[in-house]
């Protein structure tokens, strides 16, 4: 995949993955720290709903500060494409740990559940519902074992849905 060289003050170093948005390992050229940059794809940018969700996720998540929630450092648009800058996490998703039988003993599993519950309690107290809690959106850091909840793309805040909703019978 051809990397754009830079977006804003972030030098893009490595493509990490993604679907409607691409995530890159990057370097903040001002602060010198490694970050993750999420950029909406051209296809996602062409979809008004996807674009609105991306920008709303960036706005909402940038106002959340908690040990067990991924930190959003910056967001903006460059050449009409929205991007979001997050802390760079080294570790694995809970999905990968489950897949490879590496979730640990019962004490470790309880710690993962407790830290996830703390993150959810924090956002729920701020009237935010994540709506996409699943093993791939729970990250466990290699060095500390700290749990980080991520991907607020379909979250709901103060009664306003961030995704189009279909009436249910």
Residues noted as catalytic: 132
For residue 70, count CB atoms less than 10 angstroms from its CB and return exposed for 0-12, middle for 13-18, buried for 19 or more: buried
Q: 7 is written with which tokens?
A: 């977006």
* The token pair that represents 29 in the structure block: 């050229």
Please tell me the distance from the alpha carbon of residue 41 to that of residue 50, in angstroms, as a whole number.
10
Residue 2 CA from chain centroid, whole number? 23
Distance CA 87, CA 131 (A): 22
Please tell me the distance from the alpha carbon of residue 76 to that of residue 7, in angstroms, as a whole number. Answer: 10
Of 36, 44, 39, 54, nearest in space to 148 by CA:
36
Tokens of 126: 């701020």
């Amino acid at each position: 995949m051809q990397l754009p060289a830079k977006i804003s003050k972030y030098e893009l170093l490595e493509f990490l993955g993604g679907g409607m948005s691409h995530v890159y390992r990057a370097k903040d050229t001002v602060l010198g720290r490694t970050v993750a940059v999420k950029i909406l794809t051209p296809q996602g940018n062409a979809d008004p709903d996807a674009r609105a969700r991306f920008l709303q996720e960036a706005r909402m998540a940038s106002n959340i500060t908690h040990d067990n929630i991924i930190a959003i450092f910056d967001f903006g648009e460059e050449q009409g494409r929205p991007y979001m800058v997050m802390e760079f996490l080294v570790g694995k998703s809970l999905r990968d740990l489950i897949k490879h039988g590496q979730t640990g003993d019962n004490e470790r599993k309880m710690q993962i559940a407790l830290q996830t519950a703390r993150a959810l309690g924090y956002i729920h107290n701020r009237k935010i519902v994540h709506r996409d809690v699943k093993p791939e959106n729970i990250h466990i850091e290699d060095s500390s074992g700290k749990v980080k909840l991520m991907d607020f793309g379909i979250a709901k805040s103060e009664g306003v849905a961030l995704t189009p909703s279909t009436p249910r019978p």
